[in-house]
Structure 1
Amino acid sequence: MRVSEVNGAELDYWVARALGMMPTILRPQGRPSCFVIPAKREAFSFAPSSMWSDGGPIIDRERISFRWDGFGATRWCIAVKQGFRTVEANGETLLVAAMRAVVIDQFGDLELHPVKLPREGSY
């Protein structure tokens, strides 16, 4: 799967990797969630593609801007990250588009190795 197609916990995992964090995916309530394991501290939930409290500061720090493309049910958000090069990514929401832009800026729109998801009921 390419970065431009990744969603949910896998996208959160790759955002954490792009930001230099040590992520893992667990299933605390039965569905996959990304957690970050900082040095000498307890792991914490990290969901920048769905939680503004996690994704908003990244958007601000990375100076990501947005525009909408299309209309009706086919509208896409396009995130634009400018730096040494301009990176564009699209998504169903502002957060998804922005987080894809962060990952594409770091790794390119590459074919990603699948994240190994834990079995149902595991922590």
Structure 2
Amino acid sequence: MNVNQLTGAQLDYWVAKAEGMQAEVKHACGADWCQIDVQHVGYLQYQPSENWHITAPIAERQRYLTYPRLREDGKLEWLAEAHLNPDFHGMCTDESPKVAICRLRVAEKFGFEVAE
């Protein structure tokens, strides 16, 4: 699957894997979520695509640049770019800057195609 198509729990799962965590996607009551196993704590829900407290440290550590631009249809989209990384030059976009950052982290670690 193309990284730019990842959303929700699947995106959160791949970010967890990129960050070196044990993760799995859970499903109950019609909802999916990513669950991680945290040593000495137990299982926690992990949502970097929804939570700046998780996403911002990733962007800062990886030295990602984010900036907005207007699409041709007039909607705002965010670009996340690994401009300062000497080993990986990539860019991902989404209407949410958090999603763009998460996609870029996955692409940086695994490439722009991941197994479903």
TM-score normalized with structure 1 length:
0.81
Partner Cα separation in structure 2 for residue 64 and residue 46 of structure 1: 21
Partner Cα separation in structure 1 for residue 50 and residue 29 of structure 2: 16
Which structure has more strand as a fraction of its residues?
A: 2
Compare relative contact order (CA 8 Å, sep 6+) and give the higher one, 1 or 2.
1
Partner Cα separation in structure 1 for residue 24 and residue 88 of structure 2: 29
**Counterpart AA for 2:78:** C
- Corresponding residue for residue 94 of structure 1: 97
Paired-residue identity, %: 28
Q: 2:114 aligned with 1:108, yes or no?
A: no
Q: How many pairs align?
A: 112
- Corresponding residue for residue 50 of structure 2: 50
- Corresponding residue for residue 67 of structure 2: 67
| Per-residue CA distance 1:87-108 (angstroms, 9 max, x = gap) | 2111121000001010000111
Let me know the Cα RMSD of the aligned residues.
1.6
Three-state SS of the structure 2 residue aligned to 1:57 is: helix
C-alpha deviation, 1:79, in angstroms: 0.2
Runs of 5+ unmatched residues, structure 2: none
Partner Cα separation in structure 1 for residue 30 and residue 47 of structure 2: 16
C-alpha deviation, 1:20, in angstroms: 0.8
TM-score normalized with structure 2 length:
0.86
